[in-house]
Homo-oligomer: A and B are copies of this chain.
Amino acid sequence: MELTKVHVPAREGRAVRVAAGQLVRVSTPEGAQVSDFFAFCAADTTEHLSAAHTRGHTSRLFPRLGEAFVTDRRRPILTLVDDTSPGRHDMLIAACDPARYELLGYEGWHASCAENLRSVMRELGVGVTTVPQPVNFFMDIPVTLQDVIEWRSSPAAPDAAVTLQAEMDCLVAVSACPQDLVDINGMRPGPLEIEILDK
Choose from B100, B143, B151 the contact partner of A61 (Cβ within 8 Å). B143
Give the docked Cα–Cα distance between A100 and B55 (Å): 13
Choose from B61, B129, B151 the contact partner of A147 (Cβ within 8 Å). B61
Query: How big is the A interface, by class?
Result: 20 to 34
Instruction: Tell which of A3-11, A44-52, A160-168, A189-197 binds the partner.
Output: A44-52
Chain B residues with Cβ below 8 Å from A55 are 92-94, 149
Q: Is A116 an interface residue (CB 8 A)?
A: no
Q: Is A199 an interface residue (CB 8 A)?
A: no
Query: Interface residues of A: mostly helix, strand, loop or mixed?
Result: loop
Give the docked Cα–Cα distance between A73 and B52 (Å): 19
Chain B residues with Cβ below 8 Å from A92 are 52, 55-56, 61
Say yes or no: B46 contacts A94, CB within 8 Å.
Answer: no
Q: Closest CB of chain B to A95's CB: distance in Å?
A: 8
Residues on A lying within 8 angstroms of B by beta carbon are 46, 50-53, 55-56, 59-62, 72-75, 92-94, 97, 99-100, 103, 129-131, 133, 143, 145, 147-151
Report the 7 A-B pairs with minimum CB-CB distance, sorted nearest first.
Answer: A52-B94, A74-B99, A61-B147, A52-B133, A53-B94, A59-B149, A56-B93
